[in-house]
C-alpha cells in the first residue's frame, strides 16, 4: 500500500511539474518590418522625447528606416540636433541585442541606441557620441 501511494505521488508530482513548465517560446519581442513607438528618457528617468519608428527594410541582421518625434519634452537635450530621421542598425538574435545608429550619414556627432530584446519591447541605453567623447546618455524603449 505504501509503495503504491509513493508511486502515485511520484507520478502526480512529475505530471504537475511538467504541466507547470513553460511551453511557449520566451524568445521575446519580435522585431520586423513595420511601425513602432519609442520613448527616450534622461539618466534620471525624465521623458525627453517620444516618437514613431518605421522599419522599412530588414534583411539578414540589418535594419533601416525612418523615425520622427511626436512629442519633445525637453527640446534642449544634447544629441537631439544630431538625430535627422533616418536610421540603420543590426539585430543580433543570438545575443538578443539591437543596435541603432540614428544618423548613419554622420560619424562624429551621433546618437546610438543599444538595446536588449525584452519580453514585450526593446529596452536599453542611448548615448550621444561626439568626436571628443560621450556628450549625454539615457534610456530608450521601442514597443508596438
Dihedral (C-alpha) 49, 54, 60, 62: value to the nearest 10 degrees? -40
Residue range 42-69, pLDDT digits in tens: 999 999 999 999 999 999 999 999 999 9
Q: Which of 79-84's residues contact partners 24+ apart within 8 Å by CB, and which partners?
A: 79/111, 79/126, 79/128, 79/135, 79/136, 80/48, 80/49, 82/106, 82/109, 82/110, 82/111, 82/128, 83/111
Give CA–CA dist 72/140, Å, rounded. Answer: 14
Give CA–CA dist 68/84, Å, rounded. Answer: 9
Give CA–CA dist 50/48, Å, rounded. Answer: 7
Place of cell 508596438: 144
Q: What is the mean pLDDT of the chain?
A: 84
Give pTM, 2 decimals: 0.79
Predicted confidence band at 24 (pLDDT cuts at 50, 70, 90)? very low
Residue range 66-109, pLDDT digits in tens: 999 999 999 999 899 999 999 999 999 999 999 999 999 988 88
Amino acid at each position: 500500500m505504501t509503495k503504491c501511494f509513493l508511486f502515485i505521488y511520484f507520478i502526480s508530482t512529475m505530471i504537475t511539474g511538467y504541466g507547470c513548465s513553460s511551453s511557449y517560446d520566451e524568445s521575446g519581442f519580435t522585431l520586423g518590418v513595420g511601425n513602432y513607438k519609442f520613448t527616450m528618457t534622461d539618466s534620471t528617468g525624465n521623458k525627453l522625447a517620444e516618437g514613431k519608428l518605421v522599419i522599412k527594410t530588414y534583411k539578414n541582421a540589418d535594419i533601416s528606416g525612418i523615425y520622427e518625434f511626436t512629442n519633445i519634452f525637453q527640446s534642449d537635450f544634447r544629441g537631439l540636433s544630431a538625430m535627422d530621421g533616418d536610421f540603420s542598425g543590426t539585430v543580433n538574435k543570438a545575443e538578443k541585442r539591437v543596435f541603432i545608429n540614428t544618423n548613419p550619414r554622420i560619424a562624429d556627432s551621433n546618437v546610438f541606441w543599444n538595446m536588449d530584446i525584452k519580453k514585450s519591447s526593446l529596452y536599453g541605453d542611448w548615448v550621444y557620441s561626439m568626436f571628443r567623447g560621450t556628450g549625454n546618455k539615457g534610456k530608450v524603449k521601442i514597443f508596438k
